[in-house]
């Protein structure tokens, strides 16, 4: 059986929901498992208090322990602590295989688009997990913890984003209220920064107090003066309270700025933490290569096997004379080129045949020549455009011409061969301008040249309006 090793794993983040080794697989539970071709139900004992007999009566554990001991004499009852440690790893091994395969499939098949993982690669992963659990039980338990941590990340991220949205809503309300108060009282920005808000508000009420004073001095009776004095004191108290309210509101706004920044950083980190942890898990599964005698990453082996499939698919696509097939081949090639430049993941060096690998430069040149042509020899794209223009009947409408060309505009949006969108649009305009010039030179009287001029103008205007990518 192939050997496997695994570098030690750091503990998952506290928010990740990691568990201690005892609790990783501890709860006793009834499980339906397949053993020797038949399904059976068994109760898994808790490792911390399991007897030797209970553990050895778990299907598959005796073989697992035999591999771990490498044939050396071992009596479980006399080595209960060590047996329990291996038992925890054995249970963890059962738990991690399916979610781990799903992680590899998510990364390679869906995110990287490299094709379907071969059964042989799944078998290598299974062997690596067997050996990891048997020879490094703590490493297997760490792996299980990290997979558990990843499971909780989406919930943690959703909670962080929800808290961020709530905090942003409150912050925006406070900002709007403060601005209304500022506008109403003509409080300057400098005043807000130095916080003499109360004084500004008092000055805003100066006219009121002046008018009251004039009325008192003009001969109100004693009772009236007392009433006005009371009202004045009450108004001044309200102004003071309002000023304090604005001071608190400004403090809330300033505090909200810091809170939002913290929550935004936390929300961004969840996605990054998930990618880092997933990457470490996938790269950390190692297996011994029996041919070279070296230890390699299962992820690298899977990518190597998939790269051969990618190379053969691209080479097969290049043999086609169908424009749509060649365009799809070009899109696939561009996808893997982007993956290589962006993340250093290489699917473009696979083997086409036993003694031949894909040459990126030669492939790109051959693909562009078939689609776009070469000097003196039009490519399939130009031929298709000219064929479509030939189907336009005399006296056709502008809509008929635009409809005939819309499929080619769609092609350029995805790129022609290895060319980007803007360069592809330019190539389409070149072909259409060539057709227009030919129609003018032939003194076209069918109206086709006029329609072509209209379509060229629309395509050029649309291209100018789109951001360059």
pLDDT tens for the 469 residues of the chain, in order: 344 443 333 333 333 333 333 333 333 333 333 323 333 344 556 777 788 998 999 888 998 898 889 888 899 989 898 999 999 999 999 889 999 999 999 999 999 999 999 999 999 999 899 888 988 899 898 898 888 888 777 777 777 777 777 777 777 777 777 677 666 555 444 444 444 444 444 444 445 445 545 554 555 445 555 665 666 666 566 556 666 666 676 677 667 677 777 767 766 666 666 677 788 888 888 887 767 778 888 999 999 999 999 999 999 999 999 999 999 999 999 999 999 998 889 999 898 888 889 999 999 999 999 999 998 899 999 999 999 999 999 999 999 999 999 999 999 999 999 999 999 999 999 999 999 999 999 998 889 999 999 999 999 998 877 765 5
φ and ψ of 274, to 5 deg: -60, -45
Q: Domain boundary residue among 259, 282, 305?
A: 282
Both 178 and 249 in one domain: the answer is: yes
Both 330 and 269 in one domain: the answer is: no
Between CA 359 and CA 32, with CA 121 as vertex, the angle to 5 degrees is 155
Both 169 and 264 in one domain: the answer is: yes
Number of domains observed in the structure of the chain: 4
Contacts of 68-74 spanning 24+ positions with Cβ under 8 A: 68/133, 68/134, 68/135, 68/137
Both 146 and 256 in one domain: the answer is: no
Q: Domain boundary residue among 307, 326, 358?
A: 358
Range of the domain at 188: 154-282
Strand partners, 42: 31
Nearest Cα to Cα of residue 122 among 301, 294, 291, 296: 301
| Full-model pTM | 0.62
Both 263 and 352 in one domain: the answer is: no
Q: Domain boundary residue among 125, 151, 177?
A: 151
Is 264 part of any domain? yes
Is 1 part of any domain? no
Q: How many CB atoms lie within 10 A of CB 289?
A: 13
Nearest Cα to Cα of residue 318 among 255, 362, 264, 272: 362
Both 405 and 435 in one domain: the answer is: yes
- CA–CA distance, 297 with 279 (Å, rounded to integer): 12
- CA–CA distance, 228 with 193 (Å, rounded to integer): 35
Both 188 and 91 in one domain: the answer is: no
Is 323 part of any domain? yes
Both 268 and 314 in one domain: the answer is: no
Both 38 and 144 in one domain: the answer is: yes
Is 73 part of any domain? yes
- CA–CA distance, 98 with 126 (Å, rounded to integer): 10
Both 319 and 205 in one domain: the answer is: no
Both 139 and 224 in one domain: the answer is: no
């Amino acid at each position: 059986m192939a050997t496997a090793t695994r570098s030690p794993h750091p503990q998952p983040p506290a928010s990740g929901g990691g568990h201690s080794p005892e609790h990783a697989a501890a709860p006793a539970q009834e499980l339906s498992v397949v053993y020797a071709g038949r399904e059976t139900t068994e109760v898994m004992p808790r490792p911390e208090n399991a007897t030797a007999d209970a553990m050895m009566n778990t299907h598959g554990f005796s073989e697992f322990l035999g591999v771990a001991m490498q044939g050396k004499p071992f009596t479980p009852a006399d080595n209960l602590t060590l047996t329990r440690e291996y038992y925890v790893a054995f249970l963890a091994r059962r738990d991690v295989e399916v979610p781990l395969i799903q992680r590899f499939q998510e990364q390679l098949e869906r995110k990287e688009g490299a094709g379907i993982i071969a059964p042989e690669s799944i078998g290598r992963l299974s062997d690596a997990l067997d050996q990891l659990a048997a020879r490094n039980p703590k490493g297997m338990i760490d792996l299980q913890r990290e997979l558990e941590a990843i499971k909780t990340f989406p919930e943690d991220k959703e909670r962080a984003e929800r808290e961020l949205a709530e905090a942003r809503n409150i912050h925006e309300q406070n900002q709007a209220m403060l601005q209304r108060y500022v506008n109403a009282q003509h409080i300057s920005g400098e005043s807000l920064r130095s916080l003499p808000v109360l004084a500004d508000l008092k000055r805003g009420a100066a006219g009121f107090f002046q008018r009251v004073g004039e009325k008192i001095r003009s001969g109100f009776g004693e009772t009236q003066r007392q009433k006005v004095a009371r009202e004045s004191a009450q108004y001044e108290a309200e102004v003071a309270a309002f000023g304090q309210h604005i001071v608190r509101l400004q403090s809330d706004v300033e505090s909200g700025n810091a809170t939002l920044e913290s929550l935004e950083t936390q929300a961004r980190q969840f996605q990054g933490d998930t990618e880092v942890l997933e990457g470490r898990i996938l790269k950390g599964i190692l297996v011994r290569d029996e041919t070279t005698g070296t230890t390699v990453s299962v992820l690298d082996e899977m990518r190597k096997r998939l790269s051969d499939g990618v190379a053969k698919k691209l080479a097969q696509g290049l043999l086609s004379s169908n424009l749509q097939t060649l365009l799809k081949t070009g899109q696939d090639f561009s996808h893997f080129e982007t993956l290589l430049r962006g993340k250093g993941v290489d699917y473009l060096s696979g083997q086409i045949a036993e003694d031949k690998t894909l040459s990126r430069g030669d492939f790109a040149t051959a693909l562009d020549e078939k689609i776009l042509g070469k000097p003196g020899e039009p490519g399939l794209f130009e031929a298709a455009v000219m064929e479509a223009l030939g189907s336009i009947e005399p006296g056709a409408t502008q809509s008929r011409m635009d409809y005939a060309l819309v499929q080619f505009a769609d092609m350029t949006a995805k790129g022609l061969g290895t060319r980007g969108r803007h360069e592809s649009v330019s190539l389409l305009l070149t072909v259409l301008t060539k057709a227009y010039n030919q129609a003018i030179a032939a003194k076209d009287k069918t109206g086709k040249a006029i329609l072509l001029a209209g379509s060229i103008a629309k395509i050029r205007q649309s291209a100018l309006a789109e951001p360059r990518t």
